[in-house]
Amino acid sequence: MIEQRPLLTAMSHIIMVLGVILVAFPIWITFVAATHDDIRMVQAPLPLLPGEHFFENLDKTLFGVGLSGTESAPVWLMLLNSLAMALMIAFGKIAISLLSAFAIVYFKFPFRMGFFWMIFITLMLPVEVRILPTFEVVASLGMLNSYWGLTVPLIASATATFMFRQVFLTVPDEMLESARIDGAGPMRFFFDILLPLSRTNIAALFVILFIYGWNQYLWPLLVTTETDMTTIVMSIKQMLEAAEQSPQWNIIMMTALLAMLPPIVVVIGMQKLFVQGLTETDK
């Protein structure tokens, strides 16, 4: 910084540390709760430091029958469901957005702009505002309680299409001309040149979409009624309700921890791609 003011620098660090504590505190408390046994977790005040029952809780949560007094799928199955949903949404969105952006940028064909605007409109129709009729469509197509019903209605994406369109527009025209002289057809050009050139953009978008898919809540809540199809994020709500009768906060918080771990690992582990994806998709 400009001036050398040790006091100010020290104060900056103090405020940053306070900020980190504020932001991390709920997650810390969750972690602590997941390390104590159920007896300790009904005694006020609750602990602020971790206990010794982490692995015991982990085992009980992952492979146990869940909370006593509720019927639900085992947590490992929910994790698998969530993983499947997140991956299908991320890959599905990326695939169909890449293809339509490719068509819109590299071909001149009737109704091109019509298609473009149709995709644009999806931006204005988030799931939350059309839940009921969309649910009816999915129900009438017999897609309830299936991975298809969970994911397909969510994979149309204007933002991803726009992002790829932007990326393709920055690829020099000569790339295409050169490929054409080399004898590459459209799909060959797409796979050999365009995809490799956009790979960091794809990776960045994948990070964002994985989190988006993993964290879906309202939609899975509606389309899955069988316990086998429950996702981990959904299960928290059911557990909270059960907790009002028989509090087992250690198990609930362990589940919450498991539910947020994958996206957090993705964000921290791929921080650079994450930041790139976040800023690119919001343009």
**Closest CB to other proteins among residues 52, 268:** 268
Q: Which bin fits 145, alpha (ψ -120 to 50), beta or left (φ > 0)?
A: left
The residue within the footprint of other proteins, chosen from 89, 167, 253, 254 (CB under 8 A), is 253
Within residues 142-171, the interface with other proteins by CB under 8 A covers 152-153, 155-156, 161, 169
CB 41 within 8 A of CB 243: no
With tokens 């059960």, the residue in question is 242
| Residue count, binding to other proteins (CB under 8 A) | 119
Interface region with other proteins, contact rule CB under 8 A, candidates 52-60, 65-73, 259-267: 259-267
Report how far residue 66's alpha carbon sits from residue 281's, in angstroms, rounded to the nearest whole number: 38
Reference 280, options 176, 217, 198; nearest CA is 198
Judge contact between 280 and 201, C-beta under 8 A: yes
Give the nearer residue to other proteins in terms of CB position, either 77 or 131: 131
Residue 101 CB-half CA count within 13 A: 27
The correct pick among 65, 145, 218, 246 for binding other proteins (CB under 8 A) is 218
Which residue's CB is nearer to other proteins, number 58 or number 197?
197
CB of 59 to other proteins, least distance (A): 21
Among 34, 209, 233, 273, binds other proteins (CB under 8 A): 233
How far is CA 160 from each of CA 19, 96, 107, 173, rounded to the nearest angstrom?
32, 9, 19, 22
How many whole angstroms separate alpha carbon 162 and alpha carbon 195? 16
Residue 197 within binding range of other proteins, rule CB under 8 A: yes
| Shortest reach from residue 5's CB to other proteins, in Å | 8
Interacting residues with other proteins between 62 and 91 (CB under 8 A) = none
Q: Identify the residue among 4, 39, 55, 108 touching other proteins (CB under 8 A).
A: 108
